[in-house]
Amino acid sequence: MTTPTIVGNENGIRLWSIMAASQDAEEYATFVRLSTAANKYGKIWFTDVVTQRETKQNQVMWMMVWNAIKAQWEVSNFLTPAGALEITKRMRQPVIEQTDEVIEINIDDLVED
């Protein structure tokens, strides 16, 4: 089985990717809860909780819906509050994806005689 794709608004997809790789415990916990709900109900709404916490201002709400016919997730801008920016400062930074890459090192290469 292949991994379902995510299509739609690039900024919403970018935020979802940032949340998936977040080192912020609160944001990652929110991501896990949303992922569970998405798989159960097929529709979720999410926002940039880190920026909202830091600025104390509402952020753009994104909607992600499962399209069973196309077997893909579709992300769209659900609501943009007055004064909110669709692209936050942290969304402009490169996304670092987590990998499970294993590098074998020979101890003899590290220790000099």
Q: For 40-87, how does the pLDDT look when each residue is reduced to its tens digit (9 = 90+)?
A: 999 999 999 999 999 999 999 999 999 999 999 999 999 999 999 899
State percent of the chain over pLDDT 70: 79
pLDDT reported for residue 97 = 54
- In tens, the pLDDT along 9-28 reads 999 999 999 999 999 999 99
Has residue 100 got a pLDDT over 60? no
DSSP per-residue letters across the chain: -PPPEEEE-HHHHHHHHHHHT---HHHHHHHHHHHHHHHHHSEEEE--HHHHHHH-S---EEEEEEETTTTEEEEEEEE--TT--SS-GGGGSPP-----------HHHH---
pTM, entire model: 0.78
Has residue 111 got a pLDDT over 90? no
